[in-house]
Structure 1
């Protein structure tokens, strides 16, 4: 029965790995050098696809900005990021299955012979993976910083999962090692050395793990939930920088404030808009077919008011949520226009909310090219009526624009930083009574990361999801984590030792039975036992 199962398993893995029936392998048990090289190439491809997949999973926070960047360079609105993710998932799953079948070959002491179709597939997977990694390293370098952040956040649990996996696999590993010793002559001690080396390495990994959610505070002293600035309003469920988007964020999801962008029109009116040109979020191509390509700031405010700034959301579907909007919402979105800065202030301050915005400079040929900053400040102080002490502004370190923070309902000293800031820097700023606003934070895990770090506020495009995130998913003191780590490792080690003792004892009993057959002169029985490990078609005649 056992031999039949073994032959059936060998036939299955041989068919999947080499696309041939098992009996074609029984002529020669030794793997060729070329096939060993191909297995090494496949192993390298597996590691590359794993790294590539983890990159695209961890950087999902900036998926929308990546798509917007492609639109800016190509003029095509397409889910590029999602496409890259699918490629990474498919290549990883394919190579992982081949690796699994390769290791099963080794466990069954079968000759490796990867089919030509799979060789082509491995090469194509490697080429696509390296191409994506190189492309990210050249054009999207900012995505890499999410990898260490995600590892820092889930590192303690990755270690526990890895230890648990190797612990569970110990029964199969020990059984395979005894099989290798019995059938291939590889000493059990030598083969088990590498398994225990990897296991011990995982045991001591927490020494090098730092996570923002491993804190000295107790649960009752957790940092407060970061306040939420809605990025361009509720931009994932309504057209950005419009009246309806701001109202949804402030009224429906109780955003602490709005984070947006302000420009200055050709006739000197500050207005709410992000892009340098109008074509992504308006119908400028239809309204101004002769000059829609010129910078947005080169239009007067009256011309800007002619534009439809909301219909594009239902038509282009920039977010997954846009596929589920109702006909009533489509009608409401189509009535949205471009707001002036004064209109935005009235909407936000009437609700006693805060405001954070980037004031972007106009082109050099613009009538207000040298006075855009002072003109905007004059509008804030005269038309809106704010005292200079009620707002602050500073030149952005990453661009030619200025950042304005309305302090009407907030007396903090605030620093506005990108989401690549280390959690130690956030804590250091907090100790110096400087509040940190991190932009842009859309994924729940990244929000939890900066919550643990002590960020006072975050700017998010996902106000509709993060507003309901009201508690830390996990938080441990260093002492609790140390106890959990040590107890888990001790339990794992005891389990593995017991499993290996059982398997070693089982292997020795098999040897003793064979020796008794020989010493009793039972030649026929010995031959039968010895031949039972071989495939049936080797001795059937």
Structure 2
């Protein structure tokens, strides 16, 4: 019964890998050199697709900014990032299945023979993967910094997974030594590279620097970072609108709002992010002749004519927008562009904090040289804040200024992008400077900067991050050292035992074959998938 099950499994594997029927042992031929080359190409493609998928997974935090960038260059609002992700997932899944079938061929002693359609699929997957990686390197270079950050966060556990995989592969590596020896390749040379990779993985933790490996104990962990809602609750409501601000502050108890302020043609600061109006308003319908001109070239009365909410349910910029109810659509359609004073009233009435960028108007604007002073005058005279209750500084990434209202938050902060190293966050904290990191949307990145000691983060995902109330993991260096050593020792013992067993089996098999051939008797032995034995060796 066991043999029948094995034959059934082997037939299924050969059908999926090579679209062919399984051959009997008397008909088997050795794996051709070309097929071995194809297996190596497939292994390289697997590593490339794995890296590509890891890149897109790690940089998912900035998916919205990528889509917005494509909108600026193409004028089309489309989930480009999600499309690239799907391509990477599909190619990786496809190549991974082929690799599994290839290894099953070896386990079941079947000849490797990849079907031509699969060969075409492997080449296409490799080309698409390399194209995506090159594209990211040229057009989306800002995504690369997420790769080392995610590696730092999950590095301790990724090392354990890698050691586990190499430990499990020891049975196949040791099992193939007999075949290599029959080809005249010394076992020492063949096993050297395996043990070299294994030793490198064993000592990798020496170089792992993770923010969640901390000297303090659990009771001394950093406090949860405060949440600034980026443009309000922008993933579940239209950005920079009254309803978006209220949902973030009332429903999810955000510490404050992070937004954008511009100045209208008649000198009134208003809340808006983009340079033109078309992405988030119905300016094309209301101003068909001049909708392409900069948003700052419209008066405040003209801006109030626009619908700044209906686009959210229509364009569906986030996955959550697909689940907007009819009642919410109606409420969104009533949202307009707010003045800066209205935003202040919403936030300060709830005794919350406010962080916003003030962006300069075009050079032909009547307030092109006085936009900053005009904004400050509105804050001090119309809103009534004392100059000691707010601070502002030039933004490091553009010509705009960053304003921080300290009426209910008197921290000294640095507002930095999410590529800042966790060591820099801790250094600033030692100098009594709190770090606010923008934009942090993914849970793992939030946990990363939580471990680093960031005082606050700006997030578009206030509805999800507000529910994170404890660190997912945290280890002291001593605990990590113990875990690392015990795991590596267990792996090494397992590998040594496996090699001893396999070498013993090969020696017994060799003595048995020598004894059978010396007395002229016929013999059969199981076909080894990667061997070079001719087909007549398997005949009775």
Q: Normalising by the residue count of structure 2, what TM-score does the alignment of the two structures yield? A: 0.92
- The 3-state SS of whatever aligns with 1:165 is helix
Q: What is the aligned length?
A: 535
Q: Deviations over 1:197-225 (max 9, x none)?
A: 22222111111111011111111111111
147-156 or 326-335, which deviates more: 326-335
- The 3-state SS of whatever aligns with 1:204 is helix
Q: Give the equivalent residue in structure 1 for 2:371.
A: 372
Q: Give the equivalent residue in structure 2 for 1:437.
A: 436
Is 1:31 matched up with 2:26? no
* Correspondence 1:209-248 to 2 at 5 A: 209-248=208-247
**8 Å contact 1:232–1:261 — kept in the other structure?**
yes
Q: Deviations over 1:345-374 (max 9, x none)?
A: 011011111100000111111111111111
Q: Deviations over 1:115-156 (max 9, x none)?
A: 332222222112211211111111111001000000000000
* Correspondence 1:131-530 to 2 at 5 A: 131-178=131-178, 180=179, 188-514=187-513, 517=516, 521=519, 523-524=520-521, 527-530=522-525
Are residues 27 and 164 of structure 1, via their aligned partners in 2, closer, same or farther at CA, if it must alter by over 3 Å? Answer: closer
- The 3-state SS of whatever aligns with 2:388 is helix
- The 3-state SS of whatever aligns with 1:528 is coil
Distance 2:39 2:181 in 1: 24
**8 Å contact 2:241–2:337 — kept in the other structure?**
yes
Are residues 186 and 109 of structure 1, via their aligned partners in 2, closer, same or farther at CA, if it must alter by over 3 Å? Answer: farther
Distance 2:93 2:421 in 1: 32
Q: Deviations over 1:354-406 (max 9, x none)?
A: 10000011111111111111111000001000011111111111101010000
- The 3-state SS of whatever aligns with 1:20 is coil
Are residues 116 and 168 of structure 1, via their aligned partners in 2, closer, same or farther at CA, if it must alter by over 3 Å? Answer: closer
**8 Å contact 1:29–1:110 — kept in the other structure?**
no
* Shift in Å, 1:72: 1.6
Q: Deviations over 1:55-100 (max 9, x none)?
A: 0010000111111111121121111111100101111122223333
105-114 or 432-441, which deviates more: 105-114
* Shift in Å, 1:38: 3.6
Distance 2:43 2:392 in 1: 53
Distance 1:255 1:408 in 2: 16
**8 Å contact 1:261–1:274 — kept in the other structure?**
yes
Distance 1:23 1:472 in 2: 55
* Shift in Å, 1:317: 1.0
Distance 1:235 1:530 in 2: 67
Distance 1:532 1:132 in 2: 41
* Shift in Å, 1:531: 8.0
* Shift in Å, 1:538: 7.5
113-122 or 510-519, which deviates more: 510-519
Are residues 36 and 511 of structure 1, via their aligned partners in 2, closer, same or farther at CA, if it must alter by over 3 Å? Answer: closer
Distance 2:487 2:477 in 1: 15
Are residues 148 and 532 of structure 1, via their aligned partners in 2, closer, same or farther at CA, if it must alter by over 3 Å? Answer: closer
Distance 1:3 1:247 in 2: 68
- The 3-state SS of whatever aligns with 1:306 is coil
**8 Å contact 1:109–1:183 — kept in the other structure?**
no
222-231 or 47-56, which deviates more: 47-56
Is 1:72 matched up with 2:69? no
* Shift in Å, 1:36: 4.4
* Shift in Å, 1:518: 6.0
* Shift in Å, 1:442: 0.2
- The 3-state SS of whatever aligns with 1:392 is strand
Distance 2:181 2:403 in 1: 74
Are residues 170 and 42 of structure 1, via their aligned partners in 2, closer, same or farther at CA, if it must alter by over 3 Å? Answer: closer
**8 Å contact 1:67–1:81 — kept in the other structure?**
yes
Are residues 272 and 24 of structure 1, via their aligned partners in 2, closer, same or farther at CA, if it must alter by over 3 Å? Answer: farther
**8 Å contact 2:30–2:534 — kept in the other structure?**
no
**8 Å contact 1:23–1:537 — kept in the other structure?**
no
**8 Å contact 1:285–1:292 — kept in the other structure?**
yes
* Shift in Å, 1:4: 6.7
Are residues 122 and 162 of structure 1, via their aligned partners in 2, closer, same or farther at CA, if it must alter by over 3 Å? Answer: same
Distance 1:411 1:322 in 2: 36
- The 3-state SS of whatever aligns with 1:355 is strand
Are residues 530 and 113 of structure 1, via their aligned partners in 2, closer, same or farther at CA, if it must alter by over 3 Å? Answer: closer
* Shift in Å, 1:517: 5.0
- The 3-state SS of whatever aligns with 2:500 is helix
Q: Give the equivalent residue in structure 2 for 1:61.
A: 61
Provide the aligned C-alpha RMSD in A: 2.6
**8 Å contact 2:109–2:527 — kept in the other structure?**
no
Which segments of 5 or more consecutive residues in structure 1 lack a partner in the other structure? none
- The 3-state SS of whatever aligns with 2:338 is coil
- The 3-state SS of whatever aligns with 2:254 is coil
* Shift in Å, 1:165: 2.3
Which one has more relative contact order, counting CA pairs under 8 Å at least 6 apart? 2
**8 Å contact 2:28–2:111 — kept in the other structure?**
no
